[in-house]
A and B are shown apart, each in its own frame.
Chain A
């Protein structure tokens, strides 16, 4: 018996890193997973293989979370195929660094467009289905830097801080409909996105992690699983840190 047996789940940004690990973890727990990827890539075979090796199923959905019509069509496809949506994981995100003097309006817009607006867009669409069924769990991916700040990440950290605020507000607004909204705030996780900061900064940051190592996408996926499953049925409006005791 899996923790997500038969639950219909949509995971955005599922081509790699935390999103891919979450899609896999959900399928292992028996979920019907719709794995969103922005650009059409041949990931159909990967997700079909997951379906063969896991109790659940996985299917790629190609769309950009920022685009209203494309996202709407994707959610309608889920509604037509499954008639419901139990879990949304708002994972799609981008990270670009710049010191304060080099933060352009374009950079701020880019961070907010994907990290905040993309999440709000999906939250709107998913919650409409969840409201009708009177249940649902939405998990937003924040970041430790959105909670504590980090030098060189003004735009990115602000956008992730906004995701945390959005999570708490949505939790209050959607609780009467039986919909829980929580967030996971990963620390330093060994992903392509994290490694883009460079070896020198990575070494300095690892020295500040209590457990003395980077986290793995699978460890974040386990936290997302907890918030998706009924194990957390009385938890809403929370930001769960997954950071190995890191300070930044």
Chain B
């Protein structure tokens, strides 16, 4: 059975909006400077086989920037990153595989379809976003509350 963990998290509208705005600034910067969509699954795909010589170094630099973020955060604020990750490793392996397959087959994830695609008013990305939100919502419903309860 999937372990059900449902610790309450604090509602943080201001911090979440500020963080969201920063994501938007990053997306703008990447488009303005490099002419690229800030879609994480697409950027990761450029670092994976089959290689297509599609600006691998730039994709790598973006990923290094992402991974530097928690270290910069810790250095500047001296507070740990608030995070609770499931330690059910089988669950995490299955989930990771599904996220990898789904985002590659579907040409995008939360950032590429959900942020950049919606900002470009792409109907394709709107469909994708509604489907992954709905699918994730149903998954959490079943996982935490069970079917028919």
B partners with A: no
Chain A residues within CB distance 8 Å of chain B: none
